[in-house]
Structures are given as structure tokens and as C-alpha cells.
A and B are shown apart, each in its own frame.
Chain A
Amino acid sequence: MHDVSAHAAQHHTPPQGFIRKHVFSLDHKVIGKQYYALALVAVFVGMVLSWIMRLHLGWTNLAIPGLHLLSKTGAPGDLMTPEYYLQLMTMHGTIMVFFVLTTAPFAAFGNFFLPIQVGAEDMPFPRFNMMSFWVTFVAFLVLISSFFVGDGPTLGGWTQYAPLNAVGAVGGPGEGLGVVLWAASIAIFCVGQLLGSLNFITTTLDLRVKGMSLMRLPLTAWAWFITSCMGLTAFAVLMPACILVILDHVAGTSFFVPSNLVINDQLQPHSGGSTLLWQHLFWFFGHPEVYIAIVPGMGIVSHVLITNMRRPLLSHRVMIGCMAAIAILSYMVYGHHMFVSGMNPFSSLAFSFPTLIITIPATIIVLLWIGSLYGSRLRINTASLFALGFISMFVAGGVSGFFLAQPSIDIMLHATYFVVGHFHMVMAVAAIFGIFAATYFWFPKMTGRMMNETLGKVHFWLSFVGTYCIFMPFHYLGIAANVRRYQAFVDEYLQPLIPVHRFITVAAIVTGVAQFIFLYNLIHSRFWGKPAPDNPWEATSLEWSTPTPPPFDNFGGKQPVVYHDPYQYGVQSSTGDYVMQASPEQVATEHEEK
């Protein structure tokens, strides 16, 4: 390592005082932990909402004790109204997509580990980085505040389709102030993510330490970089779209509300708006958002598996190329969410083709994982189990995507639980398994303590079996024409399906309770866990070259020099079967890509 003699662009002095150290901190590691804490709060809120919904779907007339405390009008006598079911569904989706699946794998772990993995002292714009978290936090508060104003949160779903999102209170409970708060929250969230993307991109391009060429970046760093490029494009489009929604509400403009629209016998005072315009703007963000949630998980899974396989992937470059290809293609496929929107059928064909194409890089990624796993002596620990779980969920959920990519089939399945099962597995659960893998893998470095492996494995198996029990039956329900977004199943043809819903509800509650094992493990290990060595997994990337937990400036006044590709496992060195990136030791590498 070299002494730091230059005034690096990202340099700033250690903070003094509690507020600057732990609240308004400029330190990327603290900001990463703050994002993680926010995601943790958000995921438990989202999970409780899903429990309430599932109980209602299984036993429609069941009074849920205490529900009236959340909303007197939405749950009089603890019985949920149909509208309140939709309001909870909207909040569940919004909280999970934005404040869990985007913040945890990308903003939380990326903030903590990207600068360390490239060998930097911090992000180049620490104040923007701090702002990005606090802006996101404000966005979360604004969204949650809609529970407590007027007639509650919006009921339009996380996609907020027009014209319902723009007509105001006449559209139903929450369609007045609730929508405005939703749109304001998402617009604010976009600002936070744009600030974060600015830091991630400049960190990756400009702050890499000597010797850290682009191809020597670990796959996690590549995943965060690609994700930040996607985020920069997607959130820059969603933000103005949300502003247009707000203007339709508060300024009387007509961007999204068509002429002669009558709701509840009232002619709406708008003219000529385009309902499809919202869908185009939203899904131009919305589909890349799927990959914003999952690509960091791909990087994490690769990183964790490689460390535990003790060998690199079959091809580092192909893995990077496939993630980049997915990012680019993600902007060409968004119309597959709109096959039933009434757009020109030829447009459906145009969007169907790239949708099928995007499965090629996704399939190659899976084959790279499986091919690399084949014949390896995988170290089984909680992190590697969750990484395997990620692959399982990604494949199981992704296979149904082949069907949904065909417009003719999607028309039949689009409004059913088949789609709910598909996106929950491929996007939500897979990404959350990636978050768990990252947590179990990096917790020692983040806190200086080891997590309990036994509890971790119990948590994995309950979560793995539980999520399959929840989401696989959704596909069956969808094929049986069980329409989604219904708050009760009163039609005769749906009656036989209610026992399936009850099974799913029980599975959801059991799986949810299992998450408290994780929460206990997280909190207990943080304070009373076994002290962690600097490199407990015998890993090679730069985050394992620093003390545990890393000092304020990451490398203790030294700057590492990188001598090796990121994953030099299966070699003979003085340390064992691996050589760290920052080690000058020369070894005969078995896995060098030319």
C-alpha cells in the first residue's frame, strides 16, 4: 500500500459529534447503513400490509383486531372495506418496490462497499450522497403520511394508471390528496436516486485505485455501476411524469384525463388527455426498475458464489456483458406491460420481440452460475444458500416470463394471479434473497461481528420453502382465471379456489414470522455476535483487505494498489488457495481471461 500524499477529490475529515457521525453523516458507510435501516423498516411495514391483505382474501368477513386504528373509514369495526383493500395493496407495492427492492441491494450495499471495492476513500460528492439518503427518507415519510390524511392513501395500485390517478377525489377514497402525496413521494424519491446514481457512476469511473482497471472490478461493483446507469435514465423520466400527475390534480391541467370522462355521474372538467401517455412514461421507468432491483442481486450472487466455490465464473467478461445487455434491452421491452392497454397490436409485436431477446442474456447468466457451480466444492453457509435460493427463484419466476412475453397469451393471463406469481418470484423474492445473501456475507465487515450460522440456515430453509408455498400456487390460480386486484372472491367459479388462498395466507404468515428469526439474528449478532476476523470468508476483493469494520477513510491512511483480477481462487499462494487483489505476490493464475 502507498501512503496517501495527494489531496484526493473525495477526501474529507473525520466527523466530530453524534449528529455528524451518525445522523447527517458524509461517510458512505454510515449512509449505506442508513439506507439498510430504512429498507428494513420499509420491508416490515410492507410485510404487515401483505398479512392484512392475505387474511382478508382468505377470510373476507374476518375482523382483524386493531385494524380500525389504521383507518376508521377504511376498516369500520375492524372489517376491511373493498376500497381499503386496494389502498393497502397500493401501499404494499409502492413501499416494497421503491423503498426495499431499490434501496437495499443498490443504495445500501452499494454505498457501503462500492468505494471500498474500487479502493477509494469515499464517494466524490459526499454531500450529495448524504442528501440522497435524507431525500429518500423524506419521500418515505411523505408516502407513509398518506395513511393519516383525508381518506387515506391512494387505491390506484403501484402503477397508478390514468385516468384514475388524475381525476381527484371523485375517483374514490385516496384519489385526492392520497395520489398527490404518492406522486410527490415518488418524485422526491427520484431526486434521491439521481443523486445516488451521480455518485455511483463517478466513483466507478474516476476514483478507482491504481491498478483497478475496469475488468478488475468485482462483479458487484459492475452491477452497481450498471444499475446506476439504468437508474439515471429511468428516474429522470419518472420524476417529470409524477409532476404531470400533480399538475393534473392541483392545477387543473389535462395531461392524462381524456375528454367526456364521467365518473360517479359527474362529467370531469378535463379534456383530451392521454391515458396511454402515463403508461408509456411509467413503464419506461417501470420495466428497467425490475432490473434496477435484480441486477445488484446478480452481482451479489456472483460475488458470494465465487467466494464459496473457490473459483471464478466461467467468464467474467460475459457476465458483465450480459448485465449490460439486460440494462440496454430493458428500455426496449417496457411495452410488454401494455399488451392489454389498447395500443396498436403491431406495437405489441415490436415489444414482444425484444422481450424474448432479453431472456438470452438472462439465460446466459444463469448458465454461467450453474456451469461454474458444476463440479465445484461449494462451501455451504447461509450466504451461499441464499445465493442458490436467488438462482432458484430467478429461474422459477423467469420461466413464466416466456409465456407472458407472448401478447396472445398475456391477454389471457395479464389480469390474473399468474402475473402476480411471476413478478413476485422473479423480481421481489429473488431480489430479497440477494439482500439476505449480501447481509450474511458482508455483515462481519460492516459490524465487526459474525452472524449466527445455525439461525441463518433455519431462516433460509423456512424462507425458501415458504416463498415457494406462497408464490407457486399463484400461477395455478392465474391459470384458473383468478382475477387479481379483487378484494373478495364472490363469483361461483372462484369459490373452489378460496382454499388455495387460505393455504397461501397461512404460508405467508409462517414465512413472515420466520423473518423475525433474521431480525433477532441481525440485532443479537450486532451486539453479542462472535468477533469477526478481517477476512472470514478468505475472499479476494478490496473490502477484505481493510480492517473489520473499516476505518473512517477505509484503508487507514493508505491506498491499496491492485495487482490481480478480482477472483483469483484455486491458486497456490502463501495465504492458501487464493490471492487478494491488493497482494503483490505473484502466482500462477489458473483463470486469466485474455
Chain B
Amino acid sequence: MATTVHEPPKIEPRRQPDNGNGGWRNLAPADGDGRVVQDYSPPPASTGIWVVVYAITMTFAALTSALIVRKGSSLDWQSFTLPSILYLNTALIVCSSVTLEIARRRVATLMGGVAIPGESPARWLYITLVFGLLFVTGQYVAWTRLRAEGLYLATNPSSSFFYLLTAAHVLHVLGGLIGLLYVIGKLRKSQLRRSTLDAASRYWHFVDILWVYLLLLLWMKL
């Protein structure tokens, strides 16, 4: 039985001193003036993803403070029990982080030139994708269950914040799914950069942690 051997993805080379792009650790010119020249700067995707994570954190911090202020400003807040499917969804997105980390390490191994026979490097990425889609579907189911209980967006400030926070999070998860599809596409073409994979992974882990935070917030405040 023939085995398809994938070409190892290209490894993003470290930048050499003569190639410029000194980055924030490059402290001195090539000729030097007594200070150290270092040859590596992080690829922009690595820095960029932290910038994105920071901006999203600020957005959810704003919504969190809005929730706390709004709850304390009036007596019209009505608590309700969170749909139980949210806990299953939490398990799904946590699992997706685990599978993505497995995928990241296997792809990294492959990038190092070590191929694992019979192992498709994209397999764990596909599994992560499925977990992500199941999470989004699960969140939709949670919304339908609330609607069945008569809790709509404008029913009460508590339900308003539930829909708002979960929908905002799902939008970010969908962004992560698009990122995963991009990574899979690049991997299939053997054009994947390590920094792209790492950035996509960090983003996905972030939306995972963000969801756990949101669940705790909703559980405590709703």
C-alpha cells in the first residue's frame, strides 16, 4: 500500500545580521560601537497576535465593567440558570486547545525534518476544527434553549449580557476557525510558516481561556 509522503513544510529561516530587520533585540549596527549585535527578531505575526489579544481583552474588559455597573445600577436584574449545554461546550473548546497543541507539536516535528509514517500533519488540525464547529453549534443550541424559556435579548439586562457576551465570543471563535482553515491550506501547499502556526495557536488558546473566563463571569453574575 502506497504511502503519500508529504514534503516537509519550509522552515522560516532566522534572520541573519546582514539581512537587516533588526527588531527590538538588535541593539547596534553591524560595525558595532561596543554594544552587542543580536541576530534575531520575532516575526511580526508573533508580536501581532499579542497585540490582537490585548485589543480583544480590552473589549471584553469593557463589557465586563458594563455588566457589573449595569447590574449594580438598578433592581431590575433577574438571574437565570445557565443552559447546561454550556458546560459541554466548555469541554469541547478545552479539548480543541489540547488537539491544537498536539497538532502544533507534530507540525513542528515535521518542520524539523522528521516525518511520522502514516501520520497526516493536518489530522489534528481537522479535529480541532471539528471541535470548534461543535462549540459554535453548541452555543447556538444554548441560545435556542434560552429563547424556549422566553428569555430574549431585550427580556432582561441579564439575558442581554448573556447574548451579547456569548455572541461576541462566538464571532472571535469564528475568526479563529478561519485562521485554522488558513493554516490547513498553507500546510497542504507546504507553505506554512512556523510563526503563522504559532500565532493561530496562541489566538485559539486565547479564545479558549476567554470562554472559561466568560463562563465563570456569567455563572457568578447572572
**A contact residues vs B (CB 8 Å cutoff):** 2, 4-6, 8-10, 119-120, 124-125, 194, 197-198, 201-203, 205-214, 232-233, 236-237, 239-241, 243-244, 247, 251-255, 258-259, 271-274, 276-277, 280-281, 284, 559-563, 584
Contact = CB atoms under 8 A, between A and B. Distances in A.
B160 A253 contact: yes
Contacts of B137: none
B220 interface: no
A214 B30 contact: no
Contact of B62 (A205, A210, A241, A273): A241
Contacts of A273: 70, 73-74, 157
Interface string B4-40: 0000000001011111111110111111010001000
Interface stretch (B44-52, B84-92, B100-108, B178-186): B44-52
Given A202-B44, A236-B59, A5 B26 contact: no
Contact of A254 (B51, B62, B65, B157): B157
A559 B56 CA distance: 35
A554 B47 CA distance: 23
Given A259-B76, A277-B70, A277-B73, A210 B17 contact: yes
A212 B22 contact: yes
B216 interface: no
Contacts of A560: 20
B217 interface: no
Contacts of B70: 255, 272-274, 277
B29 A561 contact: yes
A206 B43 contact: yes
B31 A563 contact: yes
B55 interface: yes
A115 to B, nearest CB: 12
A561 B62 CA distance: 43
Contacts, number: 178
Q: What 5 A-B pairs come out closest when comparing CB atoms? A: A272-B74, A211-B29, A124-B44, A236-B58, A272-B76
A4 to B, nearest CB: 7
Contact of A236 (B21, B23, B55): B55
B51 A202 contact: yes
B125 to A, nearest CB: 23
- Residue among B27, B51, B61, B76 with most chain A CB within 10 A: B51
Given A272-B77, A280-B65, A240 B168 contact: yes
B187 to A, nearest CB: 19
Contact of B58 (A201, A232, A280, A563): A232
B26 A236 contact: no
A247 B42 contact: no
Contact of B21 (A9, A194, A272, A563): A9
13 contacts: A6-B20, A9-B45, A205-B47, A206-B43, A208-B24, A232-B55, A232-B58, A251-B154, A253-B154, A259-B74, A272-B75, A272-B157, A274-B73
Nearest to A564: B29
A8 B20 contact: yes
A8 B61 CA distance: 35
Given A236-B56, A271-B76, 4 more contacts: A9-B43, A125-B44, A210-B21, A214-B24
Interface residues of B, number: 51
A492 B168 CA distance: 53
Nearest to A210: B22
A2 B20 contact: yes
A247 B164 contact: yes
Contacts of B20: 2, 4, 6, 8, 119, 209-210, 559-561
A10 B77 CA distance: 50
Given A210-B29, A251-B154, A240 B59 contact: yes
Interface string B166-191: 00100000000000000000000000
A60 B74 CA distance: 43
Contacts of A210: 17, 20-22, 26, 29-30, 37
B222 interface: no
B63 interface: yes
B180 to A, nearest CB: 19
Contacts of B120: none
A321 B73 CA distance: 39
Contacts of B75: 272
B127 interface: no
B47 A202 contact: yes
A213 B16 CA distance: 17
B48 A6 contact: no
